[in-house]
Amino acid sequence: MIKTISWNEGAVVMIDQRALPHEERYITCRTYQDVIAAINTMAIRGAPAVGIAAAMGIALGTLNAPEGQIETDFYRICEDFARTRPTAVNLFWAIDRMKTRFEGELVSAPHVEAEEIKKALTEEALRILEEDIEANRQMGAHGKDLIQDGDTILTHCNAGALATGGYGTALGVIRAAHEEGKRIHVLVDETRPLLQGARLTAWEMHREGIGATLITDSMAGSLMQRGMVNLVLVGADRIAANGDTANKIGTYSLAVLAKENRVPLYVAAPLSTIDRRTRTGREIPIEERSEDEVLGFHGTRIAPQGFHACNPAFDVTPKKYITAIITEKGIITKPFGRKIKGIFGDSAGYRPRSGPKTS
């Protein structure tokens, strides 16, 4: 199994996704600032993986906090992580989980030893990792039935083991169908500008022996029009309460093309990606990354000097283009708003506080 991120004797170890597919190297983060740098530079990326990294980073930072300073350090570290990437809600969800645990420890025993708090935070971060892997397996079990023997599935970006604690969301569903013996083929969108499809999804599919072909993003519509795609399957960075979904830039175009060509589009995401505080997609903050990612690649400039680019990292697919949402609790069909409410029960325990300001 691909080990995206792990906790190793007071350090956070992660596969360096910037080096893939050419080199499989690991980085060891010994401070929480190392973890923040790994998130900012995309050494680790993908909504659930960023959430797990933040949880481990918070545990790591608190572990290194001097006696008497744990509480102030803890909240400052949480704030620092909250400033890393604004779109994927799993980050804020994970920070909230850590806060809930931290406050729970203090409330349950006001004079609790610092060591106990540190232990509890490490435990919570590891629990988040384990729960994510389990959720992905459940998504696979639910979602695999949407894939028929002989299907060709188009996917965008990387929603695989590398984007999660392991196994993957969209790629987890694909893995589950493959493990069941279904003969499937995957069309991998290269996913400009950072090529998460070409570099990461292609690497995962190749390793697993799942038949796959790389395409440029602009080929998708034509392949759908020619009847060569049975379904589109993507991950998500944030799903609003009404079902509108933010995912890697290019997903919206795929969704419109899928509807035009009567190809179903499924989103696979854990419940930690559903943000019930965000009512519609219009409220989802979209990360704008450096124009350098578009103007060049791997240090080589591809546009004329002095030329500028824009670089929104995500887009929002309105709910009307989404056929269903695959979660660990089952498949959510329309109307999403009502069914999302239902899947959370009454909203028990859902009180996120760390999200970035939305309009």
Binding site for ligand MRU (CB under 6 A): 45-48, 88, 157, 159, 163-164, 169, 196, 235-237, 247-248, 313
In DSSP terms, which residues pair with 317 in a beta bridge? Answer: 245
Catalytic residue among 151, 237, 244, 275: 237
Instruction: Name the residue nearer to ligand MRU (CB basis): 120 or 166.
Output: 166
> Which residue has the closest beta carbon to ligand MRU?
235
Q: How far is the CB of 327 from ligand MRU (least distance, A)?
A: 12
DSSP 8-state symbol, 11: S
CA distance 338 to 353: 23
Instruction: Name the residue nearer to ligand MRU (CB basis): 48 or 285.
Output: 48
Single-letter residue type at 213: T
**Minimal CA–CA distance to 64: which of 6, 121, 128, 111?**
121
Q: How far is the CB of 258 from ligand MRU (least distance, A)?
A: 16
Q: Which two structure tokens, joined as six digits, stand for 352?
A: 């996120």
- Residue 56: other Cβ atoms inside 10 A: 29
149 is catalytic: no
Instruction: Name the residue nearer to ligand MRU (CB basis): 49 or 257.
Output: 49
Q: How far is the CB of 102 from ligand MRU (least distance, A)?
A: 26
CA distance 187 to 72: 48
**Minimal CA–CA distance to 94: which of 356, 354, 357?**
354
Q: Where are the beta strands (DSSP E) in 193-275?
A: 212-215, 231-234, 238-240, 245-248, 265-268, 274-275
Instruction: Name the residue nearer to ligand MRU (CB basis): 46 or 61.
Output: 46
Q: How far is the CB of 301 from ligand MRU (least distance, A)?
A: 22
- Residue 109: other Cβ atoms inside 10 A: 11
Q: How far is the CB of 161 from ligand MRU (least distance, A)?
A: 9
Instruction: Name the residue nearer to ligand MRU (CB basis): 60 or 326.
Output: 326
Q: How many residues does the chain have?
A: 359
The catalytic residue positions are 237
